[in-house]
Amino acid sequence: MTVRWLAESLDRGAVAARVGRDADRLVADWPGRGRLSVKSDGTDVVFEPHPEADAREVDKLRRGAVRLLLAHLAGGIPLHASAVAIQGRAIVFVGGSSLGKSTLAAALCEHAGASLLGDDAVVIERRSDGFHAVALDERHWLDGDSARALGRPSELSEKTPLEPRRRDVDSAPVAAIVHLEFSEASSKPRLVGVAGLEAIAGLLAQLTRFVVDDPLVAKRDLAALADLVDRTRVVRLERPRRLALLRETALDVVALASGGTS
């Protein structure tokens, strides 16, 4: 296999993931964890886990990043995000690493009876009645501090899988997209409306793309994001970096799902 790598993401200076082409095939590689190969038309999907990879990490990869890339190939909106279903509607949390996406989704499941849809990966599909978030993950992945803040005993510091209180919703119409941001200027959680280019840019930064070298696909992606933000409430959640505020933050999001909180 001679792969022409087109894009990569780094973690502490090392390649965490990369995508490229090998003749008529698209290839994604997660060093030390696994490799995905598929024909450009979406057929002949082959995923090969690294022989020494942790089985739980491989399962998370299959359910998350692999499905995101295949969803992109099929025309969906695959996001590095978390999501829950509450009161029959989905709330999607987006933002870069370490902004609390997984922790906030877990807080909604713990404190508000939400059902987990995605811990770190969310696919949004366009259907006849609008946009729906599809369940991908079966577990939360939380570090020890977050787990303990939610009342889950943990002696570990690194992220480990935890069973959600609920996971009984396969998909839900998207009620809101929440861009996460830590701000010490805010003494408590604050929701601020976001629209237009700002809303699209925040989503584009978290879009997981398999095809990165085709202008027509890029145009399709932008059009889909523009339609999504035009039809969906988009807000920015500003809050201080304090786990003690998790319950209060979760209740604010419940109000958002109910149509409240301006």
Amino acid at 179: H
Decide: helix, strand or coil at residue 72. Answer: helix
What is the spatial distance between Cα 173 and Cα 61, in angstroms, rounded to a whole number?
A: 25
Pairing, β 190-193 against β 115-118? unpaired
Q: Do 84 and 131 meet the contact criterion of CB atoms below 8 Å apart?
A: no
pLDDT at 153: 73
Give the pLDDT of the chain (262 residues) as one tens digit per residue: 699 999 999 888 899 999 999 999 999 999 999 999 999 999 999 999 999 999 988 998 999 999 999 999 999 999 999 999 998 999 999 998 889 999 999 999 998 999 999 999 999 999 999 999 999 988 898 988 898 888 887 676 678 888 898 899 999 999 999 999 999 887 888 899 999 999 999 999 999 999 999 999 999 999 999 999 999 999 999 999 989 888 888 888 888 777 655 4
Q: Do 230 and 194 meet the contact criterion of CB atoms below 8 Å apart?
A: no
Tell me phi and psi for residue 229, to 5 degrees. Answer: -70, -25
What is the spatial distance between Cα 64 and Cα 79, in angstroms, rounded to a whole number?
A: 10
Q: Record the tokens describing residue 145, joined without a space.
A: 């501090």
Pairing, β 171-182 against β 89-94? parallel
pLDDT at 1: 64
User: What's the whole-model pTM score?
Assistant: 0.91
Amino acid at 173: P
C-alpha closest to that of 62 among 23, 107, 30: 30
Q: Do 64 and 121 meet the contact criterion of CB atoms below 8 Å apart?
A: yes
pLDDT at 5: 96
Alpha helices by DSSP H, the chain: 55-61, 67-73, 101-112, 144-149, 196-204, 215-231, 246-257
Query: pLDDT, tens digit, for every residue of 194-209?
Result: 999 999 999 999 999 9
- Domain 77-257 is of which CATH architecture? 3-Layer(aba) Sandwich (3.40)
C-alpha closest to that of 66 among 117, 29, 118: 29
Q: What are the structural domain ranges in the chain?
A: 77-257
pLDDT at 262: 46
pLDDT at 210: 96
What is the spatial distance between Cα 200 and Cα 196, in angstroms, rounded to a whole number?
A: 6
pLDDT at 214: 95
